[in-house]
Amino acid sequence: MSDARLIAVQLIASLLSKQGSLNALLPGALQQVSPRDTALLQQLVYGCTREFFRLDALAQQLLKKPFESRDYDLYAVLLLGLYQLRELRIPAHAVIHESVELPKRLNKPWAQGLINAVLRRYQRESVELDQTLSQADDTYHWNHPEWMRTKLQHNWPDHWQHLLLQNDIRAPMTLRVNKRLLTRDDFMELLLEAGIEAQPGQMSEQAVILEQPLDVRDIPGFSEGLCSVQDEAAQLSGSLLAAQPGERILDACAAPGGKLCHLLENLAGQADIQALELNPVRMPRIQENLQRLKLDPYCTLLQGDASQQDWWDGITYDRILVDAPCSGSGVIRRNPDIKLLRENEDLLKLASLQLAILDNLWQLLKPGGTLLYATCSVFPQENERIIERFCKQHPDAEHQALALDWGLERPYGQQFFPQLHSHDGFFYAKLWKSDASGSSEA
């Protein structure tokens, strides 16, 4: 088994080189360390990426010249050392010793003296450095890339500070109770008997928010399908889509399958439900969730591109859920590497893809049918502006207000911002397709 710190260095170096995300890289990395080191590895990589822009600003102050790209592994050693000195209860001498040993294991022993000198200088000057950078460097103060901070400030002048602060706070672990098998009250009794503290969600009647995150193996009944892990805002998709027995329903962009399984828990065996996923690598994750919840007989899985029609059988749908590809800016607190990996230019590409998917799937919707558009983004460029443009381009598309007690009602759709001990950032918009007679009644 490999050392957790060495694996963490390799993961951070991959992120710096933009060679994958934590979601893609971490599962394999966890298999390389012993079970007792998995928690440390996760803490190191998530903590370092969450604090990256502060650590990066500190490192630039402490270094005479930046590391070149071929030495991103050494830069990762330095960042991880700074993170441990600042945030973890590990004795400083142990952090420095472990950090100084890592370059040797990376076949770059020439850097040991540099790592030692920089970390010891930080020890001596940490208070002064923090005060100076907090006052002089907005990127350090807000711990976000400049483009993201500027865009959020422009888009949400009354909310941007809240957004940035919430992004750096760990999200709660939220469960969705499988109401096919038991009630939320019954499930909370199981948690209480197991000594697990939790609170019922406020927005979803199936949501349970744990006081402390747990390994799913320690959650009563998880392996038997009594519950699933799903943010409370994401759980609203089931009630907002309002699918009915006897309907033909499509869940587009379905992986990892949370919204699909929620839909099936409500309507298994009572509706024709299909799920579409572009990436074949993500299909097994959907199948695993369906099998754990014993829902796989009630769903047809399709592999294909939601912006194309070569997978479609020609029969239109009563309802379509479009969980569109997006920046993930509403779930940064769960995926802090988004701050490193996303660029401003990505939003334009994503907006083009989102419109292409909507344009295509709208053709597959029956007159009188409903399309629910969802993203885990807080950028209007991916949300309300997409829906506004789409409605202007499609006279038969009628935007319907959601009339929710939560979130921020917008001219098009409902925007949710991440909340402490509650839901993530999210967006929903509901569109109704006028029938052939031109009637506007839903």
* In the predicted structure, residue 253 carries a pLDDT above the cut 80: yes
Question: What number of residues does the chain have?
Answer: 442
Q: So what's the pLDDT on residue 437?
A: 43
Show Cβ contacts of residue 161 under 8 Å, excluding neighbours closer than 6 positions: none
Outline where DSSP puts E strands in 278-385.
299-303, 317-323, 365-375
Question: What's the confidence (pLDDT) of residue 1?
Answer: 52
- At 93, the amino acid letter reads H
Q: Assess whether 261 carries a catalytic annotation.
A: no
In angstroms, rounded to a whole number, what is the distance separating the alpha carbons of residues 203 and 308? 34
Strand 174-177 to strand 207-210: parallel, antiparallel, or no bridges (unpaired)?
Answer: antiparallel
Element housing 352 (H / E): helix 344-362
Average pLDDT score over residue span 344-368: 98
- At residue 28, the pLDDT reads 94
What's the pLDDT at 438?
Answer: 45
CB 246 within 8 A of CB 271: yes
Q: In the structure, what pLDDT confidence band is assigned to residue 436 with cuts at 50, 70 and 90?
A: low
Catalytic residue among 253, 261, 376, 391: 376
Confidence band (pLDDT; 50, 70, 90) for 440? Answer: very low
pLDDT exceeds 80 at position 383: yes
DSSP per-residue codes, 142-158: HTS-HHHHHHHHHH-TT
pLDDT at 403: 87
pTM of structure = 0.94
Q: Supply the DSSP symbol for 276.
A: E
pLDDT average, residue stretch 229-241: 96
Q: How far apart are CA 334 and CA 338, in angstroms?
A: 9
| pLDDT at 377 (0 to 100) | 98
- State the Cα–Cα distance between residues 128 and 150, nearest whole angstrom: 27
pLDDT band at 441 (very low <50, low <70, confident <90, very high): very low
Mean pLDDT of the chain: 95
pLDDT tens column, 303-348: 999 999 999 999 999 999 999 999 999 999 999 999 999 999 999 9
**95-138 per-position pLDDT tens digit:** 999 999 999 999 999 999 999 999 999 999 999 999 999 999 99
Question: How far apart (Å, rounded) are the C-alpha atoms in residues 426 and 282?
Answer: 22
Examine the pLDDT at 29 and tell me if it is beyond 50: yes
Q: What does the pLDDT read at residue 412?
A: 98
Residues 138-192 have pLDDT tens digits of: 999 999 999 999 999 999 999 999 999 999 999 999 999 999 999 999 999 999 9
